[in-house]
Structure 1
């Protein structure tokens, strides 16, 4: 405004030009700063990711196997090879800075490709990402069939299994086992470390047998029954092969003890199958039963010299607590339902065998 109260446009223009100059200077300063920041940030990201990935990975899943005893560098190398991390250096740095590198475990893990090393490290520590390998041995499975399962399910060569089993001193067997693995490879489901080692698997089974035997007071119960612990395990191994229904197993054990007490041959087809290494059918032929193997209880009186299978908990319980019965015979009359009938006389048994034969005639090739 001039002295007359009117706008002085020259002064307005002057101040406007000054304000514009200030705003222009600020914009140049701010713009230049943003430019510098943007360039600096790009340089930092480039530096940071030169040996590492950024982001959350590609989403493409990959499994990696970390062997037992692998160190941080070896694990990093495996992850680089699998496309999980970009460099061993980045993984080693993440492990060192975490202070938890000693928590890394061996095994198989589900990961994602192109992960930041820190993320990959954290995923390896998370048990949710571990792939647990298992193997299952059914009750009453002889050693030879257990080893077939290991070969089939874990892809372990048969010769490697045979070599492991031959090294008896490796296994902490009970003294009463007398060096027999048969009967002492407890049937159950086991977690298996990778790569699968048959010696470790069998050692775990022996440990589990000893745990169960101690819980059952097997040695003490055997003494009360008047048998050695090995004989009781042998009886349990026959029980496990003859019937799989837990409620029938004490009765089968009772039949075995009764026949032994009376000096009768056991005449168990399961012992013939073991002697011949023939499985798949429940019956035997006259030629089979004439085999002189010490395991053939049609040919020899008394128990086989050692177990014929690996009994589980229910069969071992049956062997140490047999049913009180006068039965001397039994036969499973229906292989589908497992129905088993017991008899105290040969006449009753013959009638039960006739029922079994009827079932076999109706189910050709099953017996």
Structure 2
């Protein structure tokens, strides 16, 4: 009995020593993490938006490459109670700051030189350049030159010739003095934070779109940008996406008015018969077959989701046309035949007829 008891005590003692050693190693590693330098050479700009949780902040810091151990950072935020103290705003993390010092900065007041920049869904690079110039964040032409620079787009991993469609809509707090490249990278990072997780959680939809239409990410973003430009009511985005896919399946030209005026000749240009039928246009889907060569604006989250999950309700595969109702609802009437569509145009646009255009069930 005594021998067994001694053996048990020895085993317990060894396990306790091993646990203490392991804890000591982890604790030392944890302390080293807090004191490690975020970046010895370059400063970084961190933007914390309203409503971000501590977990959201950790994810953002990992995405920016400022933290390499999210578990240690979460432990620190829990132990220090600083996970509840993050502030909204723009923060400059100077070169040489440690992880602990960075968190101190992010839990203090944001830089008061920050300017609010609103990028609305559907806004194109030309409109965005005007907004940036109007906020006195950068010269319009300088911003546009960088946003349409193929090499710069490639450096950011964008497959298109420009950054059109790859800068996310949203409200930004932008620090005055931020370079044009930093501003563009900030908006592109927000786009990736929206699109990449969305695409990863819909692998079957991606595979089907690639198999059926030969779509890669660039074509999907292009499709989403057209959907975005066509809708006002976000609930209609999946239906418009379905109409476009149906027309592509039947080798029909998309005949989407918003594509006629890209790139715009003048700010806020409206579609016209002349522009839509311009044989020299590379974007007008009245002239070209299939999708435009690239996005025509910044798709919002609803439009991006719509291309991955288009409408599949009653007679979904038959929907080929839509026209704005012009009744204050910001919605469209969807048709399965050209005859029904023409009657809908007479009723809703020309106002030459009354009644219901046809029997096609209208998506809700």
* The one of 330, 335, 356 aligned to 1:338: 330
In structure 2, relative to structure 1, the CA distance for the partners of 1:174 and 1:331 (3 Å cut) is farther
Per the alignment, residue 136 of structure 1 pairs with: 118
* The one of 333, 339, 343 aligned to 1:347: 339
Alignment partner of 1:266 is 2:254? yes
Q: CA deviation at 1:337?
A: 3.1
In structure 2, relative to structure 1, the CA distance for the partners of 1:160 and 1:176 (3 Å cut) is closer
Q: CA deviation at 1:327?
A: 0.8
Structure 2 Cα separation of the partners of residues 352 and 281 of structure 1: 26
- Indicate the RMSD between aligned Cα atoms, in angstroms: 2.9
Q: Is the 8 A contact 1:333 1:359 kept in 2?
A: no
Per the alignment, residue 181 of structure 1 pairs with: 163
Alignment partner of 1:232 is 2:220? yes
1:244-283 equivalences in 2 (<5 Å): 244-277=232-265, 280=268, 283=271
Structure 2 Cα separation of the partners of residues 241 and 296 of structure 1: 13
Structure 1 Cα separation of the partners of residues 208 and 155 of structure 2: 22
* The one of 124, 135, 140 aligned to 1:153: 135
- The CA deviation string for residues 244-281 of structure 1, in whole angstroms up to 9 with x for no partner, is 21111100000000000000000111110114545646
Per the alignment, residue 192 of structure 2 pairs with: 210
Q: CA deviation at 1:176?
A: 6.0
Alignment partner of 1:222 is 2:206? yes
The SS at the match of 1:133 is: strand
Structure 1 Cα separation of the partners of residues 176 and 231 of structure 2: 34
1:162-173 equivalences in 2 (<5 Å): 162-170=144-152
What TM-score results when the alignment is normalised by the length of structure 1? 0.59
Per the alignment, residue 44 of structure 1 pairs with: none
Q: CA deviation at 1:130?
A: 3.0
Q: Is the 8 A contact 2:169 2:298 kept in 1?
A: yes
Per the alignment, residue 295 of structure 1 pairs with: 283
Structure 2, unaligned stretches of length 5 or more? 1-41, 44-90, 94-106, 353-364
In structure 2, relative to structure 1, the CA distance for the partners of 1:158 and 1:318 (3 Å cut) is same
Q: CA deviation at 1:283?
A: 4.3
How many residues matched? Answer: 241
Q: CA deviation at 1:312?
A: 1.2
The SS at the match of 1:199 is: helix
- The CA deviation string for residues 208-228 of structure 1, in whole angstroms up to 9 with x for no partner, is 111111111168333321221
Q: Is the 8 A contact 1:290 1:299 kept in 2?
A: yes
Tell which deviates more after alignment, 261-270 or 224-233.
224-233
- The CA deviation string for residues 43-78 of structure 1, in whole angstroms up to 9 with x for no partner, is xxxxxxxxxxxxxxxxxxxxxxxxx98xxxxxxxxx
What TM-score results when the alignment is normalised by the length of structure 2? 0.59
Per the alignment, residue 26 of structure 1 pairs with: none
1:49-88 equivalences in 2 (<5 Å): none
Structure 1 Cα separation of the partners of residues 122 and 133 of structure 2: 18
Structure 1 Cα separation of the partners of residues 269 and 349 of structure 2: 14
Q: CA deviation at 1:197?
A: 2.7
In structure 2, relative to structure 1, the CA distance for the partners of 1:129 and 1:256 (3 Å cut) is closer
Q: Is the 8 A contact 2:124 2:164 kept in 1?
A: yes
The SS at the match of 1:136 is: strand
Structure 1, unaligned stretches of length 5 or more? 1-67, 70-104, 108-124, 361-367
Per the alignment, residue 304 of structure 2 pairs with: 316
